[in-house]
Every structure is written in structure tokens, then in C-alpha cells.
């Protein structure tokens, strides 16, 4: 045995001894090996004692990295470097644009009771404004006065933007008088969910820790509507941090039944539009927050394709699931608003420019339509009967409708971690500072509880969930390749979860009332970027029915 060999052997055993000694003597100031062993149970692993001894020092190193990152503030508008891509393999974004020639409704006469105007559609209001039968300032005051009259009941408004609105209205009147009419939204008063920043006004996100928050810029969607000449008159309630219909100031009510909440989290846009406090509103959806309040309040709500509308200046809840869309009186109104807000702004990198081809005279003979038969068949309530009647109405319009089903054999329970992990990331400082304790709701289903538990979601599980999500995207693409539209009960099965995960667009439209006289709805689902087809079919359905023309009775003179 050579001297050099003995020397190397001694060094080898010495290094093993050093590693063993350092691993077993190192002690992190904040957690012990016993803490690590207990934490395993939360994430579903069971490492050996030796494995924990070996990793313990590295976990301390990780903790040092976490601590160092928290020293550096991150701006609200910073997305993660990993951006969600909803496109199936080989998908081509439609680019061929047909001109959308919106027409002002003819022969609209100013009613004797001006408050009747509050329930007019956008084309009807546009006719009155363009013909100068009413000024934008007068119309704006009608809606502002209605807010002051009815909002104590509904609790749908967080901030009245009266000064901004009246300044805008005077500018619009001067433009129209000078012959500079911009289009159907010119002079139309509207409201926006209070997740969207408006410079000079509070942006509360519906939550007590942010009730005095001022953001020194304006969301891109608001700027787009400013450019179109629409008049922002109010910031409308959001359930706390986009959860439910309870916010720091109370609970937003359903105008059809004030014993019931307006549903969430675009509760304010739903209640305010339905009660005629605004002509239309902007909402957001991550997992049902446009569709659900549209259903409850009897509105037509459009949840666009993921990446259709910029979210710059809009509170993130889930970077890979959030969408901004209109909540209106009719499908045509939704189309008009969507045309104004869609498209890139150079700030939200997830947004894609794609064609939006809408027509009021959609050729139904060319449509391939499916329906989720099992969801229609299993509901024996009044709501289910309304859905089946709506389906019959669509068939009588000449549609050939085939039964279809969505994937069943899938790990749907894992997908919850996507929203929770992303929300937990954005609101991490809120949780660590314990300001989350100031939120009104603190129960099992509250946003506060959801944000806290997000800390226990492993990064591996989040990424695995997104791998399963990619498989789901491909499976859904195979289904949608065979159909232009798929019809579903609004809350049928898992369709809200599935289509929000895959980024597909949806339109919820009223189709009747339940046994208590509260609105119900049916939902049309479409291919990515095919909002024009969905809204065109919804428009044709609304020509055959009158549910979109009905309004809650207690908000009329």
C-alpha cells in the first residue's frame, strides 16, 4: 500500500466525517429536524431519518434564499417569467378580420320618463346621444342619481367617480356637437369592477387591507374605453380579493331578491347593471366570476378567451387564469364593448391580436353545435326545465344539436392548486405581514384562508398540475375541433372549471326564472378566439326570447 493511497483514504474518511458531523451539528434558528418530519405529512412524503439529516442543512439554505428575495419589492404588474399558453399543439390564431359595422338603432325617441333610459341597450342610448335628444351630461346624471338613490340597498358601488364622469361628459357633448361622433360607446356611462386601477381614485380590491389604496396609473381597459368615449361613473364592488360577494363594506345584493347576494366576485358589476345604475360594466373571471353574477342578476356576460383582453392595471388573482370581460343587457351590447377592449396594449405580454368577426345575422345553417347531454338530463329542478326549454328553442331555430361530453377520467382535484398557488404568490406579503387577518371573512371558504394554505403547496405539485392541464387542453381541443358551439347548463358538471383552465370563451345568457322569481341562465362555449360566433348565436336566441329585456321591478319609476 503506497503512501499516496493511504493519504487519499484518510482524506476520504475525513471528508465523510466532516459531512456527517456538519449535518448533525448544524441547527437552523427557525426550524428543527423534528419540524421537517412533521411537515412531510402536509405534502404527502415520508423520507427516512438519514434523508432528513442530509437535506436539513439544504433546507436552511433554501430558507436563506426565501428571506433574501423578500427584501426586494416586486411591482404589481410583474408577471412570472413562465407565461401560460392556452394554445393546443399546432393551433393557429385566426387573423382574417371582417369589418364590424356597428349601427346606431334608428327611430329611438326620448321617453317621457327619463329614468326608463337607464335600462336601454347601448345602441338605443347611442341613438339618443347621436341625435342629440339627450346630452351625455344629462344621461350621466341620470345614472349617478340612480346610484345615489339605490346603492344603499344594493351595496354595489365602492367609489363614485362623479367629477371624472361629468368632465368626460362635457367633453363628449362638445365632440358630438362638433360632428365628431366616435361610435356607439361615445357618451355611454358605465362602471368597472374595483380590481381595475383608475388614477386619482381608490382601488380597494374589495378587501379591508386595501380600502385606502391609491394606484398612480389607469388600467389599459379603462384607457381603451376612454378612447372610445365611454364615461366611467363608478367603481363597483368586488368580493374581497375576487372572492364571493362580501367585501369590506358589506354584501352586494341581487336586485331581483335582496335577501340574496349578487354572487361573486363581479358582484358589483352584476347588481349595478341589472338595476340600471350603469349601462354596462366590466368584470373579471378566474373561475366563474363573470358567469355566476350574470346568471344571478339576469345579464348577458362574456368571458373572453384567455389572452384576449389586457390585464395591465387589473389586480392579479391567477396570472394563468384571469380574464376581463363585459357584463351587459344583451349579447349585442357585449359585442360592442368587447370590440373596444380587446387586443394588445404592449404591456400585458399574454394578450394576442386575433380577429373578432361578429354579425347580427349569423347563418345558423353553417354551425356545428353540441350540447352536454348528461348535464341537461340530470337536473330535474325548475332550472333544469328552463335549460331544456332553451335547448328546444335553439333547435327550433334550425340548429342540429349533437350530444357531447367532456373528459371524465381526469385528476380534476389537483387543478385547485394552480389558482391557490398563483394567488398565494401575489399576496404573499399580505399573508406574512398578517394584514390578511384584517379581511372581513376568515372562515374555511374565505380568501384569507385560501391565501394562508397556499404556503403549503409544493412547487412540484403546482408544476405537475400544469402538466395535467396541458393534457386537458389537448383533449378539449379535439372535442372543439368538431363544434363551433357547445351548449351547457351554466353550472353543469365541471364545465366552469374545465373551460377556465383551458382558456375557452363563454357567454352566459338569461333563459328564465326559478321558483322564487330569480333569473337563471344557459351558457354557450366556443373555440379559442371565436367570441363572434358565441355572441352571434346568443343574439339570435335573444331575438326569439325576451329574457334579456326583463328588469328587476323595484328599480323602475
Neighbours of 550 (CB within 10 A): 15
Tell me how far apart the terminal alpha carbons of the chain are, to the nearest angstrom.
106
State the DSSP code for 212.
T
Between the alpha carbon of residue 339 and those of residues 286, 334, 443, the distances in Å are: 21, 8, 40
* Range 161-164, long-range pairs (CB < 8 A, 24+ positions): 161/198, 161/201, 161/232, 161/233, 161/234, 161/235, 162/233, 164/198, 164/200, 164/201, 164/232
Rounded Cα gap, residues 480 and 296, in angstroms: 28
- 372 bridge partner residues: 404
For the chain, what's the residue count? Answer: 557
Rounded Cα gap, residues 487 and 371, in angstroms: 5
Q: DSSP string spanning 402-454?
A: EEE----SS-GGGGHHHHHHHHHHHTHHHHHTTGGGGSS--STTSHHHHHHHG
- Annotated active-site residue 265? The verdict is yes
- Annotated active-site residue 292? The verdict is no
Between the alpha carbon of residue 194 and those of residues 242, 285, 488, the distances in Å are: 10, 13, 29
Residue tagged active-site, from 220, 238, 266, 289: 289
CA 392 to chain centre: 30
Q: DSSP string spanning 115-142?
A: GGGGG--HHHHHHHHHTTSS-HHHHHHH
State the DSSP code for 433.
T
Cell output for 17 = 466525517
Which residue in 408, 450, 153, 108 sits closest to 276, CA to CA? 153
Residue tagged active-site, from 220, 265, 292, 450: 265
- Annotated active-site residue 38? The verdict is no
Q: Which residues are catalytic?
A: 193, 265, 289
Amino acid at each position: 500500500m503506497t503512501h499516496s493511497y493511504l493519504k487519499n483514504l484518510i482524506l476520504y474518511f475525513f471528508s465523510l466525517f466532516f459531512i456527517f458531523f456538519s449535518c448533525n451539528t448544524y441547527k437552523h434558528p427557525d426550524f428543527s429536524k423534528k419540524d421537517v418530519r412533521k411537515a412531510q405529512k402536509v405534502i404527502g412524503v415520508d423520507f427516512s431519518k438519514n434523508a432528513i439529516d442530509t437535506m436539513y442543512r439544504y433546507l436552511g439554505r433554501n430558507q436563506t434564499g426565501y428571506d433574501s428575495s423578500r427584501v426586494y419589492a416586486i411591482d404589481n404588474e410583474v408577471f412570472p417569467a413562465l407565461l401560460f399558453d392556452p394554445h393546443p399543439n399546432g393551433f393557429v390564431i385566426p387573423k382574417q378580420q371582417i369589418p364590424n359595422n356597428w349601427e346606431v338603432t334608428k327611430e329611438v325617441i326620448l321617453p317621457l320618463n327619463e329614468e326608463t333610459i337607464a335600462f336601454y341597450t347601448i345602441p338605443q342610448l347611442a341613438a339618443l346621444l347621436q341625435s342629440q335628444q339627450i346630452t351625455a351630461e344629462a344621461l350621466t346624471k341620470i345614472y349617478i342619481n340612480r346610484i345615489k338613490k339605490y346603492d344603499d340597498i344594493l351595496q354595489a358601488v365602492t367609489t363614485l367617480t362623479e367629477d371624472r364622469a361629468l368632465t368626460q361628459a362635457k367633453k363628449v357633448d362638445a365632440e358630438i356637437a362638433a360632428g365628431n361622433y366616435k361610435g356607439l360607446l361615445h357618451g355611454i356611462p358605465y362602471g368597472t369592477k374595483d380590481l381595475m386601477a383608475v388614477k386619482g381614485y381608490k382601488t380597494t380590491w374589495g378587501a379591508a387591507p386595501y380600502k385606502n389604496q391609491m394606484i398612480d396609473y389607469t388600467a389599459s381597459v379603462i384607457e381603451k374605453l376612454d378612447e372610445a368615449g365611454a364615461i366611467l361613473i363608478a367603481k363597483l364592488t368586488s368580493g374581497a380579493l375576487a372572492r364571493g360577494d362580501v367585501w369590506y363594506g358589506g354584501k352586494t345584493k341581487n336586485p331581483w331578491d335582496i335577501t340574496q347576494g349578487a354572487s361573486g366576485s363581479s358582484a358589483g358589476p352584476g347588481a349595478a347593471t341589472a338595476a340600471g345604475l350603469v349601462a354596462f360594466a366590466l368584470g373579471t373571471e378566474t373561475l366563474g366570476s363573470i358567469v355566476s353574477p350574470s346568471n344571478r342578476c339576469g345579464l348577458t356576460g362574456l368571458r373572453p378567451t384567455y389572452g384576449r383582453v389586457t390585464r395591465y392595471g387589473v389586480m392579479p388573482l391567477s396570472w394563468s387564469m384571469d380574464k376581463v370581460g363585459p357584463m351587459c343587457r344583451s349579447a349585442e351590447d357585449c359585442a360592442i364593448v368587447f370590440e373596444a377592449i380587446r387586443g394588445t396594449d404592449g404591456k400585458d405580454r399574454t394578450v394576442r391580436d386575433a380577429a373578432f368577426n361578429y354579425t347580427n345575422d349569423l347563418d345558423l345553417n353553417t354551425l356545428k353545435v353540441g350540447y352536454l347531454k348528461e348535464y341537461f338530463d340530470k337536473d330535474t329542478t325548475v332550472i333544469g326545465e328552463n335549460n331544456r326549454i332553451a335547448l328546444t328553442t335553439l333547435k327550433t331555430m334550425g340548429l342540429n344539436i349533437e350530444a357531447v361530453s367532456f373528459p371524465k377520467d381526469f385528476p380534476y382535484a389537483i387543478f385547485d392548486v394552480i389558482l391557490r398557488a398563483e394567488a398565494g404568490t401575489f399576496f404573499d406579503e399580505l399573508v406574512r405581514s398578517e394584514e390578511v387577518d384584517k379581511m372581513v371573512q376568515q372562515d374555511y371558504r374565505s380568501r384569507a384562508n385560501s391565501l394562508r394554505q397556499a404556503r403549503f403547496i409544493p412547487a412540484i405539485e403546482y408544476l405537475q398540475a400544469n402538466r395535467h392541464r396541458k393534457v386537458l387542453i389537448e383533449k378539449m381541443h379535439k372535442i372543439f375541433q368538431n363544434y363551433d358551439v357547445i351548449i351547457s347548463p351554466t353550472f353543469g358538471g365541471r364545465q366552469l372549471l374545465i373551460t377556465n383552465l383551458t382558456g375557452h370563451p363563454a357567454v352566459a345568457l338569461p333563459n328564465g326564472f326559478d321558483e322564487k322569481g330569480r333569473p337563471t341562465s344557459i351558457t354557450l362555449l366556443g373555440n379559442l378566439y371565436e367570441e363572434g360566433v358565441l355572441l352571434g348565436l346568443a343574439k339570435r336566441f335573444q331575438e326569439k326570447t325576451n329574457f334579456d329585456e326583463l328588469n328587476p321591478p323595484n328599480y323602475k319609476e
